[in-house]
Structures are given as C-alpha cells and as structure tokens.
Amino acid sequence: MPDAKLNIVITGGTGFLGSHLVTSLIAAGHDVIVLKRSSSDTSRLAEVAGVRMFDVDVSGLNAPFDFIKADIVLHAATNYGTKGEDGSFLLANNVQFPLELLEASIRGGAKTFVNTDTSLHHFTNPYALSKLQFREWGRHLANQGGINFVNVRLEHMFGPRDNPSKFARRIIEQCLQNVPEIRLTQGDQKRDFIYIDDVIAAYMHILHADPQTPYEEYEVGSGSAVSIRDFVQRVRQLTQSSTTMNFGAIPYRTNEVMQSEANIQRLTEMGWSPRTGLNDGLQKTIDHVRLHGVRNS
C-alpha cells in the first residue's frame, strides 16, 4: 500500500539537503511548499516541476499556513557559521527563526515539526550550541502539547550539490585541483560519513512514522565511523591526486570530539538501512564535481 499523501512545509529547500528532500517528496506525490528568503538562490530546484515557494521575508511565517493545512513542517535550513558570523547572528538564524516557525506551525495546526539537528557536541562551536538551544525549545513546546517535535541528529552527510564550504566537498575540490598541500589535524578523530541518498531515504521513513511521544529523536548516519585521515586518503586515491596531505599541521579544535557514530537501530527496525558505501558515495560525488566543474582556489 503506498504511503499517504502529506502536506509538507519545508525550510532550507534551496540548500543541499533541502533540495534533495524537495525533489524526492514531490516525486513521491506529496504536496510541498518551500519557505525561503526573496534573496535565496533557487538554482538547485530549477529542474523540479511543481515547486511552490513563499518568501517569508515578504509574506511572513503565518501566510503559508493560511494556504495549506500542513501535516508536517520540515526544518532543514541552518547557518553553519563558516564565514565568521558572530554568535548573535547564529542565534537569530538557528534559534529565533525556527522558534518563530515552530510557534507559527502550532498556530497553523501542523501535526508534527521535524527538526534537522547536528551530531556535534554543543560546545564544539557556536553553530552546534545554537542547534542545542533550539532543540531544547522544541522539546519544551512539544511537552506543552499542540505539536509533535521530531529531532533528526545528522552525522556528516555528503554528495552531489553539496556546499563548497563543507569538508567533504572542499577536500574533493582541492584534490581535483591538485593543490600542493592540504593542512590538516592529525586526523585520528572518527566521523560517520553518510551519502545524501541514504539520508533522504531515512527522512522518508521518519516522515511516515507516527510519533508515539511528543518529543522523539532519530540518529541518521551510516552507523560506522572512519578516521578523517582515512577519509581524505580515500579521496586522494579516488581522484588520483598529487596533493600532499599534511597531517598534524593544525591543532584539534577545543572540545574536539574524537568519535562520532550514529546509533541507527531505531531506523533499521523501521526497515531503513544505508545502501551506499563510502567509496561508492565518494566516487559519485567526485564524478559530479568533475562534470560540473570546480571553483578556482
């Protein structure tokens, strides 16, 4: 029996994760509205038919809920703070905006709010701290009644159309350009890398699950961690790059997490499992970057 059609309001739909989600949700027959800013780059959705968009900086956050009776609000927008943004900027983007969206979702009668969270420890950087702060707001409001809050803690996803500032994409580009050297930490910290197609499949399972409690949490990753050293060496080998990996050239971050790995038992019990191995995912991503070009360093 096919999954029931859902009315979904999504933020971050023009970004890496969000554009893959929008494409898959529309292909599955769901009714999707993308919330964006009027200045957003919509090129990732250029070939997706049937996308409806609201510019929330023009219409406000209540307008979409007057237009559609949302079953689910899927929050996939975020600011990583990779351009030196200060704490107040991250607070506004990663706490205040989604909190206002959550409140609008409750007023609009949405059944479930699905939040995209990070697996990073909250003291790793200001971005991770801001994600924790909104998660706790979500837990609080869910326990007050009126909406279910489902928190999705993502490990390190990668794949075609990823942001150039993200670690995997940056390493791939630098290797394809054969830059003389990439300065890295010792690379002993282990991370759970997951290919974007597997992330999307996990979300599709989560969106169709019936929440049993007001606040629920899922961890999304491959369930297996590899060292950063191993990861970048794989990229170097697959790209046949001449780039030197200078391990130990930079120190670990304060509060660096040395092991991060998703517990995927809950998802596997729902019938999901990752299907793309690390090397296969990297090769697909490398092929996409080669096809569409790399930036100048």
pTM: 0.94
Q: What is the distance between the alpha carbons of residues 169 and 159, in angstroms, rounded to a whole number? A: 8
CA distances from 252 to 170, 184, 249 (A): 18, 9, 10
Structure tokens at 122: 């909250």
Per-residue pLDDT of the chain (297 residues; tens, 9 = 90+): 357 899 999 999 999 999 999 999 999 999 999 999 999 999 999 989 888 999 999 999 999 999 999 999 999 999 988 788 899 999 999 999 999 999 999 999 999 999 999 998 888 888 999 999 999 999 999 999 989 999 999 999 999 999 888 999 999 999 999 999 999 999 999 999 999 999 999 999 999 999 999 999 999 999 999 999 999 999 999 999 999 999 999 999 888 889 999 999 999 999 999 999 999 999 999 999 999 876 533
Q: What is the pLDDT of residue 294?
A: 62
247, burial (CB in 10 Å: exposed 0-12, middle 13-18, buried 19+): middle
